[in-house]
């Protein structure tokens, strides 16, 4: 039988937790698996879509789309950037309240040395030595 892609369901969570733990073990990672569903079976805050890949009724893999943001800049004023950095706690609170789980900021490699320290002071951590970034515009 062919593979099937369908909406994940709350009953899939035990299998997805098992598969996720196996993936972390294999890759030497400790990525958390968020709750994908509310008690009434709807997608949890921060989850835009959750899918299951199955074959002959067996779930082989889950794919979920977490709601996140990319922080982008319109302009490059050091004074304005420093001011905004001091307000990051309020920004994080607001975004978390709106249901977002993470923020990513993509910086051109040509200016990473200039921006790495301020980004770290703001609470960002560089992950391009750990993860490769792939992008798709919708």
88 vs 16, residue with greater confidence = 16
Q: What is the per-residue pLDDT for 73?
A: 84
DSSP line for 49-112: EEEEEEETTEEEEEEEEE-EEE---SS--HHHHHHHHHTHHHHHHHHHHTT--EEE----GGGH
User: Could you tell me the sign of the dihedral formed by the alpha carbons of 99, 117, 32, 55, in that order?
Assistant: positive
**Domain map (residue ranges) of the chain:** 3-66, 68-122
Taking only the tens place, the pLDDT of each residue in 21-75 is 999 999 888 888 999 999 999 999 889 999 999 999 999 999 999 888 888 888 8
pTM for this one?
A: 0.74
């Amino acid at each position: 039988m062919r593979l099937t892609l369908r909406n994940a369901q709350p009953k899939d969570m035990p299998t997805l937790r098992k598969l996720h733990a196996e993936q972390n073990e294999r890759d030497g990672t400790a990525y958390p698996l968020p709750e994908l569903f509310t008690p009434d079976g709807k997608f949890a805050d921060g989850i835009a879509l959750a899918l299951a890949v199955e074959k002959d009724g067996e779930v082989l893999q889950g794919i979920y789309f977490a709601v996140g943001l990319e922080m982008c800049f319109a302009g490059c004023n050091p004074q304005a950037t420093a001011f905004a950095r001091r307000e990051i706690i309020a920004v994080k609170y607001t975004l978390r309240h709106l249901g977002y789980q993470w923020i990513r900021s993509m910086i051109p490699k040509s200016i990473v040395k200039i921006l790495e320290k301020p980004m770290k002071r703001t609470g960002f951590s560089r992950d391009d030595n750990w993860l490769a970034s792939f992008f798709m515009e919708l």
